[in-house]
Chain A
Amino acid sequence: MKSVFFGAVSATALIASAVHAEPKAEVLHWWTSGGEAKSVAVLQEEFAAQGGVWTDMPVAGGGGDAAMTALRARVLSGNAPTAVQLKGPAIQEWYEEGVLADISSVAEAEGWADVLPASIAGHMKCDGTWCAAPVNVHRVDWIWANAAVLEANGIEMPTTWDEFNAAAEKLEAAGIIPLAHGGQAWQDATVFEAVALGILGPDGFQKAFVDLDMDTLKSDEMKAVFDQMRTMRGFVDPNFSGRDWNLATAMVMNGEAAFQIMGDWAKGEFIAAGKAPGEDFLCASVPGDGFLYNVDSFAMFDVEGEDNKAGQELLAELIVGQNFQKVFNLNKGSIPARTDVSLEAFDSCAHLSSKEMTESSDNGSLLPSYAHGMALRGAQAGAITDVVTAHFNSDMSSDDAVNMLADAVANSM
């Protein structure tokens, strides 16, 4: 009797779901650490509040490498997740494998083109159709400083690299490590691209790291970039190899070091330690014009079935929605990708970031970060990073470095 009853209930449930096509989404991401996990939970709740069924597929490890391996296996077996945390040219790379969906209907209904900066919107499109939804904008070219240390040594935030070098020498004489840095390839690349943006300028940066123009890669300006990197190597403490970025941030926090060049995830460390922006620590864009962004996004994969398609559309709508953009970015330290979100609850560094993003978007100097996989595909970006880190960690000359850079880029094609 009992089993008949349950059978009847589940049959009703089946019929009900067939009629309503409950939105379903399986989401592959690697936001598993404290603040990030909390941010994803916000999206999950919103999705459930709209009647959706969320299947979480978090794959931690290796800065997304493990998740990409899982994704490859899923796609090869013909069973892709609804949405995957992907960014930059990787989105187009997957599109070329023919596995991404078209979500233009949502994007057009929601007017994404009007609220997203043009160059960021470009990353979300595959052959003219929308295929991904942006979550946030991290600025990469930040320089962070310990306010007390700068004041004690009578130093202002540098606005040119010469000023930076002068300040660093002064700090070194005072027994303070001028630049907190961790010797990991991606951190070397982060500093390198900040220096390159300052010295090459936005146009030169675009030519070198987006268009991979050989003349720019071998130019005298590029040699100057490597010269500055060699100078910066002298401002780093001898014990920097292999240090994690957050330990370098801690060195700035406790006054052991004065500056750090790192994306705005460093701000999260300062704030978590109870430091106030503008009082305990200072934030400024690195010397030079331009804005390097690192935009996290969700790429939408081709899925079968009405319920999955409905889930995908709902998900895309929520991700770019005002509420999620605000709550997520408050948790993560970045700024919303859409420009019409109220920034009242955000701190002064986020305000600065947002203001400069709008300005750079207007004058064409809003550029993708190469070090964080926004400007180039993995093979090319990796080839450049190899040269940058080899130069930074040896006594290679700048002439050799630019030649190696050009060869490595050519070889990676």
Chain B
Amino acid sequence: MTKWLEQNTPKLVLAPSFIAVLIFVYGFIAWTAWISFTRSRLLPRYDIEGVIQYERLFASPRWDTALNNLFVFGFLFIVIAMVLGLVLAILLDQNIRTEGALRTIYLYPMALSMIVTGTAWKWILNPGLGIQAMVRGWGFEEFTFDWLVNPDMAIYTIVLAAIWQSSGFVMALFLAGLRSVDGEIIKAAQVDGIPTWRIYTAIIIPSMAPIFLSAFIVLSHLAIKSFDLVIALTGGGPGYATDLPATYMYAMAFSRGDIGQAASSAMIMMMVVFAIVVPYLYSELRTKDE
């Protein structure tokens, strides 16, 4: 009996969370997939009707906008936040005196919730209250910075706020990575007279691949599930110019009583996540095994 317990304790301890994940994550994914093939409106219905919801989804110009925005936002957000985070980390890594204080300052935005970030940036970017009004107040009457109210540019304000929020966190990740590189190699390179930028590009950054992977995964899932930032900053507007798939899904499920549409958009979101993350994970993990 004790022997059996000894052997099976890990399994027993893990079982509840395993079952919970099985039901509440994979079970509900399956349920959503089922609903996305029905004509559910206000309440779920279970008669399969084919791909009608997906046809409606891709005929909707609002969904086109939402999906486009996801790619624009996701790409710019991930790339800029990673580049900026890396640059900040390298600059902080130069043995400067106030590193602790600076690190905290850059990391602090992460402590705010997206709602706070969104509201603060909404005021900063508001043409009548924020930057534009301030610069005009200095006497530059022609100065215009109206991205927030310009339907073609509004999505970039979301990118801006999201980068401000997250680049400090990426910096912290990279900083940890930089510190974990073997100091001996760097010293050896320095002795050989290799310039600092070459040390970074040829030695330090390549050896930080796992950190890039973590940063990429964290940022990409932040991008895909972005919801609160959009709601606080633009409310999806002007018009629906800054709608993202998550806000589209919310509108369908909770405001319009169109559960079928919401389910099909959720499935597409999930496929986007898989399409981006799975190949990356696969390639990264495989090279590690070799």
Which residues of A are interface residues toward B (Cβ below 8 A)? 62, 65-66, 68-69, 72, 75-76, 90, 93-94, 97, 183-185, 188, 237-242, 377-379, 381-382, 386, 389-394, 404, 407-408, 411-412
Contacts and interface: CB of A to CB of B under 8 A. Distances in A.
Interface stretch (B15-23, B71-79, B219-227, B234-242): B234-242
Contacts of B128: 237-239
B256 A386 contact: no
Contact of A408 (B44, B60, B126, B254): B60
Interface stretch (B143-151, B189-197, B200-208): B143-151
Nearest to A389: B239
B267 to A, nearest CB: 18
Given A241-B148, A242-B122, A62 B237 contact: no
A237 to B, nearest CB: 8
B42 A393 contact: no
B59 interface: yes
B237 A242 contact: yes
B257 interface: yes
B142 to A, nearest CB: 14
B42 A392 contact: no
Interface string B28-48: 000000000000011110000
A382 B122 CA distance: 25
Contacts of B44: 76
B222 to A, nearest CB: 23
A411 B254 contact: no
Given A185-B237, A378-B256, 9 more contacts: A72-B42, A72-B43, A93-B41, A242-B148, A242-B238, A379-B257, A381-B256, A382-B251, A389-B238
A378 B258 contact: yes
Given A97-B42, A238-B127, A185 B239 contact: yes
Interface residues of B, number: 32
A367 B283 CA distance: 61
B62 A386 contact: yes
Nearest to A382: B256
A390 B239 CA distance: 5
A66 B253 CA distance: 11
Given A239-B149, A242-B235, A386-B240, A404 B41 contact: no
B241 A393 contact: yes
Contact of B239 (A237, A381, A393): A393
Given A90-B257, A242-B234, A393-B151, A411 B239 contact: no
A407 B59 CA distance: 9
Contacts of A393: 151, 237-239, 241
Given A184-B237, A241-B237, A65 B255 contact: yes
Nearest to A93: B42
Contacts of A184: 235, 237
B61 A390 contact: yes
A412 B234 CA distance: 25
A382 to B, nearest CB: 4
A65 B149 contact: no
Given A72-B43, A393-B238, A241 B149 contact: yes
Contact of A394 (B56, B127, B239, B257): B239
A392 B239 contact: yes
Shortest Cβ-Cβ A-B pairs, 3 listed: A393-B239, A239-B128, A378-B256
Contacts of A390: 61-62, 239-240
A94 B42 contact: yes
Given A72-B42, A185-B237, A185-B239, A239 B254 contact: no
A51 to B, nearest CB: 35
B125 to A, nearest CB: 10
A408 B240 CA distance: 14
A391 B236 CA distance: 15
Contact of B61 (A97, A408, A412): A408
Contacts of A411: 56, 59-60
Contact of A76 (B43, B56, B126): B43
Q: Please indicate which of the listed interface residues A183, A188, A242 has the most CB atoms of chain B within 10 Å of its own CB.
A: A242
Nearest to B254: A65
27 contacts: A62-B255, A66-B254, A68-B254, A94-B42, A97-B43, A183-B149, A183-B237, A184-B237, A188-B239, A238-B149, A239-B126, A239-B149, A242-B148, A242-B234, A242-B235, A242-B237, A378-B256, A379-B41, A379-B256, A379-B261, A381-B256, A393-B239, A393-B241, A407-B59, A408-B60, A411-B59, A412-B56
Contacts of B238: 183, 241-242, 389, 393
